[in-house]
Amino acid sequence: MTQHTPLKKAPSRHGNDRLMKLQHFLKQDNLQGFLVPKGDEHHGEYIAPYAERLAWLTEFTGSAGLSIVLESQAVLFTDGRYTLQAAKQIDPQSFDNENLKGEKSVIAWLLDNADSGCKIGFDPWLHTEQAIKKLETACAAKKIEFVPRSPNPIDEIWTDQPAHPTAEIEIHDVAFAGYSAQDKLADIINTLHDKQAQACVLTLTPSIAWLLNIRSTNSGYLPAPLAFAIVKHDRTVELFLQSTNIAKEVIAHLGERVVLFSKARFAERLSSLAQDHKQILVDGKSCPFLVTHLLTTEGVKIIRGEDPCTLPKACKNSIEVQGARQAHIKDSAALVSFLAWLQQKVEHEKISEIEAQEKLLEFRQQQEHFVQPSFPTISSAGPNGAIIHYSATPETNRVIDKEDLYLVDSGGQYLDGTTDVTRVVTFAPPSSEQKDRFTRVLKGHIAIAQAKFPEGTTGQQLDILARYWLWQDGLDYEHGTGHGVGSYLGVHEGPQNIGKFVNGSTPAPLKPGMLLSNEPGYYQAGAYGIRIESIVVVTETEITGSSMLGFETLTLVPICLDLIEVNLLDQHEKEWLNDYHTQVREALLPLVDGPTQEWVKRETRAVL
């Protein structure tokens, strides 16, 4: 699954009011402009309500965007996915809507619209130093100055801004995590030594959750507390939380080496850190401007590198892999129970997309260790399936027609693992075009699933395997083939992925224990969507005396046989499909009720 944003109903058109308040505030503050990005100080995927400053200002609720407010005008930049949504949501008299094609479009707009020598404010928590430097360099000719402003002016005028969440901190048991926080910390300290750093600053919440074996479930789909951390080479950790009022058991779990502070004291502690730690590692891609700027001012030599938790977090240990297997079996049992129920219901009743997804959640909630969904469910019938980031709302909610292809992309957070699965089913004979497209997507899915590759291979090299049979017919899909998946953490995580190479990026070699989605698709706008998504784990295997890597598919849900044009499959593909369906039967039949067993048996019959 990819990122999701619910479409707001109808703009209430108070954008103009808020915009004028902000402009008035800026004037008093001697600023001629201000940057309002989508995002919070952790630069993660989901943000809490208090950080929805862009939505508050513009009414635009998409998952990515940037507003620039000047003295007498304002603009909202959104990418191609959100052009239509933004047009519906924003007040066109207050905001121009521009297409965000990287930094270039922002810079061009600033050079065209901002006055020479003007001062533009930004919240130093919400931008990286690199991003601000690029703006400064590009706008130097016009002498435009970028000025950090904290607290954020919007926080000063947003009277009913929600409070920062003070989520409860939970211990992530070592029975699920595999390694203790002490062991992980020792590893990270080694990385610091290797990089000649005396400390590192962690601002990515999944890294902190992983390192300290803690979780928090009140902050949306990602069960990580909104924390900062400083890790020092003497093996002590400073942990910054919204509230330090946490359970005794958690304090005991964290141990003496972890010192708790309120988030409000983070900047002060960074200054203190800088007194006797002169070489500090930060993640250049996500570390807030404020942090790097403060450390530099204190004479620290910043070592820019990847967050040191990112790679070990991505390479799941054997306990985590075993947990992922279990979580996926349970999750698959819930999904097949739902699909069996749905087929029965669609025959006789009018079931809507929203009713369907509510029922699916019920099935998941019956599974052991289930905590919450891992992302907003995409329950989409017919043409809604062609909207890649669809989420059913009362306005779009469609009754699932027997003639519709039904696409459901959903996942769960379980204590033992994070799941994400997409299947498409049909309740009536599909068109030959639909079967052709589905089978091409399946051929790509199988080519990835059974690929073997040497160490050092990246997901960029594998990507074409998923697209080959679509490309052969002039077709493609406009999203990646696979994203990394966490272990009771983010359903999207790096560095691993499977996708087209993006110039300037550093592809990450796939390593044993990494979890990835395998999700090629095809979308026929206005008609139907197809996506076959399972989670795979990278495994090591020896073939003909060579050590090779490969994938084990963890998701065990039937792939709709009625949608397959069997003549398009070769012998290897048929064998893969039959083997897969045999695994599905063996894993799920003991776990589901009678009618679901019948459904599973029918849906996993051998293909000849």
Nearest distance, CB of residue 314 and a second copy, angstroms: 19
Q: Which of 251, 475, 587, 607 binds a second copy (CB under 8 A)?
A: 475
CB 392 within 8 A of CB 353: yes
Smallest CA-to-CA distance from 246 within 352, 170, 303, 344 is with 170
Q: Is 295 helix (H, G, I), strand (E, B) or coil?
A: helix
What's the per-residue H, E or C state across 182-212? HHHHHHHHHHHHHCCCCEEEECCHHHHHHHH
- The pair of three-digit structure tokens given for residue 293, joined into one six-digit string: 């700027």
H-type alpha helices, 302-431 = 310-314, 318-348, 353-365
For residue 542, what are the β-bridge partners?
A: 547
Q: Which of residues 493-522 bind a second copy (CB under 8 A)?
A: 500-501, 503, 506-507
Which amino acid is present at 229?
Answer: A
**Rg of the Cα atoms in the chain:** 25
- Single-letter residue type at 359: K
d(CA 51, CA 38): 8
Q: Does 432 bind a second copy (CB under 8 A)?
A: no
Cis peptide before 495 (omega within 30 of 0): yes
Stretch that binds a second copy, among 105-113, 114-122, 132-140, 454-462 (CB under 8 A): 454-462
Closest CA to 342 of 304, 291, 381: 381
- 15: which 2 tokens? 């954008």
From 115-123, 329-337, 352-360, 539-547, span contacting a second copy (CB under 8 A): 539-547
State yes or no: residue 472 binds a second copy (CB under 8 A). yes
Q: Is the dihedral of CA 80, 84, 88, 92 positive or negative?
A: positive
Smallest gap from Cβ 454 to a second copy, in A, equals 6
3-state secondary structure 369-404: CEEEECCCCEEEEHHHHHCCCCCCCCCCCCECCCCC
Nearest distance, CB of residue 366 and a second copy, angstroms: 40
Told to check if 473 binds a second copy by CB under 8 A, we report yes
- Shortest Cβ 526–a second copy spacing (Å): 15
- Which range of residues in 201-209, 344-352, 462-470, 487-495 is near a second copy by CB under 8 A? 462-470
Does residue 428 bind a second copy (CB under 8 A)?
Answer: no
Q: How far is the CB of 461 from a second copy (least distance, A)?
A: 5
Stretch that binds a second copy, among 55-63, 221-229, 344-352, 451-459 (CB under 8 A): 451-459
Determine the interface stretch with a second copy among 49-57, 172-180, 346-354, 467-475 (rule: CB under 8 A).
467-475
Query: Which residues on adjacent β-strands are paired with residue 262?
Result: 241
Size of the site for a second copy (CB under 8 A): 35
Stretch that binds a second copy, among 20-28, 203-211, 371-379, 568-576 (CB under 8 A): 568-576
Among 141, 525, 543, 608, binds a second copy (CB under 8 A): 543
By CB under 8 A, name the one of 83, 468, 575, 607 that touches a second copy. Answer: 468
Q: Is 476 in the site for a second copy (CB under 8 A)?
A: yes
Stretch that binds a second copy, among 214-222, 325-333, 424-432, 453-461 (CB under 8 A): 453-461
CB of 393 or CB of 505, closer to a second copy:
505
Q: Does 453 bind a second copy (CB under 8 A)?
A: yes
471 binds a second copy (CB under 8 A): yes
Pairing of strands 452-453, 546-553: antiparallel
Based on CB atoms, which residue is closest to a second copy, 358 or 570?
570
Question: Does position 450 bind a second copy by CB under 8 A?
Answer: yes
Q: How far apart are the first and last CA of the chain?
A: 31
Minimum CB–partner distance for residue 386 and a second copy (Å): 16
Q: Which of 14, 304, 452, 605 binds a second copy (CB under 8 A)?
A: 452
Give the pairing type, strands 228-232 and 237-241: antiparallel
Residues that bind a second copy (CB under 8 A): 447, 450-454, 457-458, 460-465, 468, 471-476, 500-501, 503, 506-507, 542-546, 548, 570-572
